[in-house]
Amino acid sequence: MYDDDLAIVRGRGPSVHLTIQTGADLEELAEQLRAAGYPGVALTREDFGSFVDVTDPDGQSVQIHELDTRAAPAGHTSPS
């Protein structure tokens, strides 16, 4: 779906695209990443949810999605 949009570093061996979830405020997280000097920080809002995309020191795209509490298992709490 996003093959042309992902910053995947090609090389020997397999490639990995890391996607994680957080309970943190994504706007604040994006600002913290920019202040720390990470390049290409972008906050995206889609129908399926919102995420921050950032480039790691190796040039890989990392997506940090907001935690969807509607899909959380019973008894699961969001990290602060």
62 is in which domain, residue-wise?
18-69
d(CA 66, CA 51) in angstroms, rounded, equals: 6
* CATH code where residue 32 lies: 3.10.180.10
| 46-55 confidence digits (pLDDT tens) | 888 899 999 8
Residue 1 resides in a domain: no
Residue 79 resides in a domain: no
Whether pTM > 0.75 for this model: the answer is no
Q: In angstroms, how far is CA 6 from the centroid of its own chain?
A: 12
When divided into structural domains, the chain yields a total of 1
| 2-41 confidence digits (pLDDT tens) | 455 555 555 566 667 789 999 999 999 999 999 999 888 9
